[in-house]
Structure 1
Amino acid sequence: MSDSPIPTVDLRPWLSGDAELRAALAVTVDRALQNAGFLLITGHGVEPGLRARLRSAARAFFLLPAEVKQRYAARVGGRGWLGPGAEANAYAEGTETPPDLKESLTFATDEPFEDPVVNAEWYAPNVWPAEVPELRGPCEEYLGRMAALEKELLSLLGCALGMGTGFFSRHMDRPTYGFNINWYPGAEVVGEPRPGQFRIGPHTDFGTVTILDRQAGRGGLQVYTDEGGWADAPYDPDAFTVNIGDLLARWTGDRWRSGRHRVLPPPVDAPAEELMSLVYFGECTPGTLVESVPAPVGRVAYPPVDSHVYLRAKLDSIAVD
């Protein structure tokens, strides 16, 4: 751990079960999430080789001709390919910007739920491009690792909030999730950025926790804090970047910040820079009633909301018509 506003937290003491180490870790996490809504997580046990195989397979898809990728086109929140111009994430915070300079492959929960209406909305089958058969294996393995890590993180966050390890994790019996493989090609693919255009515009995420595996770059991730404004996010190739989403911030009564962030456009002095991020968006079981924890833990008492009614409205807000 460090004294940075966005500290690096080693999960191994938490996973070891030592009560004193767990309590100390929970204090650090609570402090960091009140400030910026971000952490770096090491000791997670997800091998670099798995992430590399997933990136390699995804890149093979992104380099296919546009007419081939179009066969897998999806809407925001769906399964498949989100092509250039599909999203403008800054719309979610009310900022009008040009569309984001990225392409995405998007996947989500696809195990059937008992309610057919919920199934139709949140559990549609994933779409696996036939041209890249090597994608499915590492993607499904990675998603299994992310689901397990999300549950551990939510247990830690329940403890950090002072509400017990099951406070959030008990709502994870049949959780949904979203997963984007975001490809940020260079300017030779996306063209010169328009005024106010980013690889991803300023926004906060929508769910519980986001688990990000990213690559360092000049046109990379920036995080906003009240003290420092926009600054490059700290980077550790062994770490995942974890941030709080709007739903969890609301759940904590705004004790914890929903981490505001953006991804810079291709840099002028390195226009061919290409990056790829693996972004797991944690959610919870459909139908969960999210109620703000009361004071003195919580600071704002929001009206209770259905978790997935809230999430659908957020997803719809960033789609470019």
Structure 2
Amino acid sequence: MMNCLRNWPEPVIRVQHLSDSGIRVIPDRYVKKPSDRPTPTTVLESPATEVSIPVIDMRDLYSGDDALRKKTAALIDGACRDWGFFQVVNHGVSHDLMRRTREVWREFFQLPLEEKQKYANSPSTYEGYGSRLGVEKGISLDWSDYFFLHYLPMRARDCNKWPTLPNTCRELVGEYISDVVKLGGKLMKIFSTNLGLTEDYLQEAFGEEMGACMRVNYYPKCPQPDLTLGLSPHSDPGGMTLLFPDEDVSGLQVRRGDNWVTVKPIPNAIIINLADQLQVLSNSNYKSVEHRVIVNSVKERVSLALFYNPRSDIIIKPAEQLVTAEQPALYPPMTFDQYRLYIRTRGPCGKSQVESLESP
């Protein structure tokens, strides 16, 4: 990474500390410009603003009925082309493991600040306890803290950087990520087949040493939720995100045309979010979707995002089978490291990165 990513440009303030201090007015750095602020109805989480993104039961994918398998695969294909987001149930990840992993992270964020500070991160890898994305000085900040850790490739994994408290954290995290990565691999095969590619095409395009990392998002209560966001609008730069949201309170919003819709989580479901590298590989047959997170004044939120990514130094480009005279290659070849440097420098910026690469 570039030298500019070695240190944060300003002192890091923990958003949880601001929330717990009892302030009634949020600092100016967290106030979004009027056009970017959530509307009062979304902040209040009116049921009218919530919508269920496609919900897909994966059980039939493993049945002996070929028609049911094809029907489920077709539902996934439709969700990828129409939404770029969907929820899966009967996905094979233990509900108990999901719940315990989320709760252990909730406990971590309630530890004394000095304990969490042992894991304070830097922008060189983002690994550890953090409170900002992007290193440009003076950028608008989001109302959230997080913990970021690497899992794959093995050479990038350093379990010593994972929290030792609570005592079960490291064990649960390893087990949870392993199972969610397996789910990601199953979905990659389905995506490949649905696109008309060989079953293993997308996985092979990601490289033998693909990347997997997790960001645990902590959104503290906010005294002025109508002025800020927990996470600014963006599309994820990697391949796919598998999100286990907080089921007690909604927060994720997906752009649908000119509107933002609040996703209502389904108990024990995992939200699948297509990211920029799948948009590139599919030559825009599948698209990543802009999304953001709202906060509220009543409840904190904890969510677990698993990023399923290409190997950092592998070249990603549109699949040759999806390039035709009618639909030429829309994106130039680029490594994932080159691509994600943009968001690591500037922070979340809508879909400006992937759109800037599209051929006219």
Corresponding residue for residue 174 of structure 1? 209
Corresponding residue for residue 318 of structure 2? 292
Equivalent pair of 1:88/1:201 in contact (CA under 8 Å): no
Equivalent pair of 1:176/1:284 in contact (CA under 8 Å): yes
- Does residue 192 (structure 1) correspond to residue 200 (structure 2)? The answer is no
Equivalent pair of 1:211/1:240 in contact (CA under 8 Å): yes
Give the drift of 1:56. Answer: 2.0
1:149 aligns with one of 160, 174, 183: 183
- Does residue 87 (structure 1) correspond to residue 87 (structure 2)? The answer is no
Counterparts in 2 of 1:41-190, with a 5 A limit?
A: 41-76=88-123, 77-83=125-131, 86-87=132-133, 98-109=140-151, 112-113=154-155, 122-125=156-159, 127-170=161-204, 171-187=206-222
- Does residue 246 (structure 1) correspond to residue 276 (structure 2)? The answer is yes
Structure 1: runs of 5+ lacking an equivalent: 114-121
Give the drift of 1:253. Answer: 1.2
Structure 2: runs of 5+ lacking an equivalent: 1-50, 349-360
Corresponding residue for residue 303 of structure 2? 277
Give the drift of 1:257. Answer: 1.7
Corresponding residue for residue 24 of structure 1? 71
Residue 252 to residue 25, structure 1, CA distance change in 2 (3 Å): same
For the residue of structure 1 that corresponds to 2:149, the secondary structure is: strand
Give the drift of 1:298. Answer: 5.7
Q: For 1:205 and 1:219, locate their aligned partners in 2 and report how far apart those are by CA, in whole Å.
A: 19
Q: For 1:297 and 1:236, locate their aligned partners in 2 and report how far apart those are by CA, in whole Å.
A: 40
- Does residue 260 (structure 1) correspond to residue 290 (structure 2)? The answer is yes
Measured on the aligned residues, the alpha-carbon RMSD in Å equals 2.7
| TM-score between both structures, scaled by the size of structure 1 | 0.81
Residue 99 to residue 194, structure 1, CA distance change in 2 (3 Å): farther
Corresponding residue for residue 9 of structure 2? none
Give the drift of 1:288. Answer: 2.5
Residue 49 to residue 123, structure 1, CA distance change in 2 (3 Å): closer
1:224 aligns with one of 252, 255, 259: 255
Corresponding residue for residue 116 of structure 1? none
For the residue of structure 2 that corresponds to 1:278, the secondary structure is: strand
The one-letter amino acid of 1:285's match is: R
The one-letter amino acid of 1:43's match is: N
Equivalent pair of 1:12/1:43 in contact (CA under 8 Å): yes
Larger of the two Rg values belongs to structure = 2
Residue 295 to residue 225, structure 1, CA distance change in 2 (3 Å): farther
How many percent of aligned residue pairs carry the same amino acid?
25
Q: For 1:101 and 1:65, locate their aligned partners in 2 and report how far apart those are by CA, in whole Å.
A: 19
Equivalent pair of 2:239/2:276 in contact (CA under 8 Å): yes
- How many residues were matched structurally? 292
Equivalent pair of 1:88/1:98 in contact (CA under 8 Å): no
